[in-house]
Structure 1
Amino acid sequence: MLSEPLPEWVPARRRAIGDRIRAERVHQKLTQERLGELTRLDRKTINRVEQGTHATSIDHLLLIADALNVPLADLVR
């Protein structure tokens, strides 16, 4: 763990990534529950990723990008 708080741009970027994930999910007319089923992640995890409230793993981001059929780079740009 870091001994100092993260710079503000880190949680801001997390929220921006979550916003892009949510926008793509909604565009594809998927619920958080359905995206969770496609990724084998629970709905609460999907929600936390979309809200940017928790530092998710690269594995989760890869699963989400694959389920949405979009390049990971498009979500984390």
Structure 2
Amino acid sequence: MDGNTTGPEPTPHLRVVRGEPTAEELAALVTVLAAAASASHGPADDEPTSAWNDRLAWARPPLRPGPSAWRTSAWPR
């Protein structure tokens, strides 16, 4: 038994189907794929958003057209 064999040959994660990319092109592709895989996909939903940061609370309420709507638009809500 040969002492240099450590097990079955590992399968490659990428395979070139067409063309002959240079080593630099393959390195760029691997870098982009690694960055995309490790990128954060937004904030975690573990903690609720603070009411101070809620932008919807600062938005104007929807308009309600109708009789005497101009008068009631100044009333406190």
**TM-score category (smaller protein):** under 0.3
TM-score normalised to the size of structure 1?
A: 0.23
TM-score normalised to the size of structure 2?
A: 0.23
Comparing both structures, which one devotes a greater share of its residues to helix? 1
Larger Rg: 2
Q: Which protein, 1 or 2, shows the higher relative CO under an 8 Å CA cutoff with sep ≥ 6?
A: 1
